Amino acid sequence: MEKIGENSSQVIITAAAKGEEKHFGTAPVDAISTIIPEMIDSTSSSQTKICKYAKGRWVADSRRPLYSGFGCKQWLSGMWACRLTQREDFSYEGYRWQPENCEMPEFERLTFLERMQDKTIAFIGDSLGRQQFQSLMCMASGGEESPEVENVGKKYGLVKARGAIRPDGWAYRFPKTNTTILYYWSASLSDLVPLNISDRTTDVAMHLDRPPAFMRQFLNQFDVLVLNTGHHWNRGKLNANRWVMHVDGKPNEDNKLAEIRNAKNFTIYSIVRWLDSQLPSHPHLKVFFRTISPRHFVNGDWNTGGTCDNTIPLSGGSEVVQDESSDPVIEGAVNGTRVKILDITAISQLRDEGHMSHYSIRGTPGGNDCLHWCLPGIPDTWNELLIAQI
């Protein structure tokens, strides 16, 4: 089974973990101390009593998928709608996740919308977060054209800027129940601030100790918040985006923190601590941090000829028996806080046949996408796990 690079990340522990708060709950750079692996492995006694939805097995289910890949064109990006590509095998659609000792009721969209009446569900993260958002839109609409659903992106500033390919996110409201589902793109979960707003090629301050401004501005309007990050934390992405690490309002000068793995972990712990500090004043809000979605490139990576050609479901096994998360960084960050883990790594690791692979809507040969998932597909299960825990 492929080892997920992000899962082996070490964790920087700062003085903020001992109660010192500064700049959204993060300790200054000089407070960074030694790496403490034990923090990742520890779990509180209260956590052990909670149902572990990530422990269980995949089972065949003739009632799947939950919606039509043909009918949900209104919400699905064409590049992820595998029913619209040249792919001919769709057996990956016919499975559901069965937790070992948990009741997970079947998803029913009207029941879901009624439960979410007058509520807002927000996804903030990278393109995998966008996939989960699109999945939930398809699930909530039944995968059908829904002209009654209102675009309320303007309310959240989610409008396409001049010269932009797309807006920074989307927000839609189901008027019958006044349920809003939105997505905001924040691949790093850091606050990104251009250093010179008049220069389109300017460097961008990447504040590792600040949540995105969008989150700070609209947190009081959310009832459910789902975060994710991970796959953009590499030197190539940072350089391409001209992101320059900042901490305590200044360019980072700590070489240890400058290492990508440490910067990512520092940011994850920072945002979890900040959210935990905010939750007492937002008693209606439930926050989930989704664990890393696994990649399945073999014989190379995305840019070196890596592929994921398997089409046989569960060829590597169907069951998750471990108690601990396969993403120890997220598990360690939320441990002892009010932020909950949405643990999808191990269950998704078993589903390598569900990726986009080499199929495209144009039917032309190209590289393999062994990171993103076909929809309908695995992200639907992520949402079922989310809904079961709301």
pLDDT digits (tens, 9 = 90+) for 94-147: 999 999 988 888 999 999 999 999 999 999 999 999 999 999 999 999 999 999
Q: Are the beta carbons of 320 and 56 closer than 8 angstroms?
A: yes
pLDDT digits (tens, 9 = 90+) for 11-63: 333 333 333 333 444 443 443 433 333 333 444 444 445 688 999 999 999 99
Model pTM above 0.75: yes
pLDDT at 8 over 70: no
Q: Which CATH architecture has domain 5-389?
A: 3-Layer(aba) Sandwich (3.40)
Mean pLDDT value across residues 184-211 = 96
pLDDT of residue 365: 65
pLDDT at 364 over 80: no
- Of residues 371 and 45, the one with the higher pLDDT is 371
Neighbours of 99 (CB within 10 A): 18
Query: What percentage of residues in the chain have a pLDDT greater than 90?
Result: 78
pLDDT at 254 over 90: yes
- Show me where the domains of the chain are located: 5-389
Among the residue ranges 101-110, 257-266, 326-335, 381-390, the one predicted with the least confidence is 101-110
pLDDT at 352 over 80: yes
Neighbours of 110 (CB within 10 A): 11
Among the residue ranges 39-43, 104-108, 244-248, 365-369, the one predicted with the least confidence is 39-43
pLDDT of residue 49: 53
pLDDT at 185 over 50: yes
Q: Please report which confidence band the pLDDT of residue 356 belongs to, taking 50, 70 and 90 as the band edges.
A: very high
For 97, the token pair is 């996740």
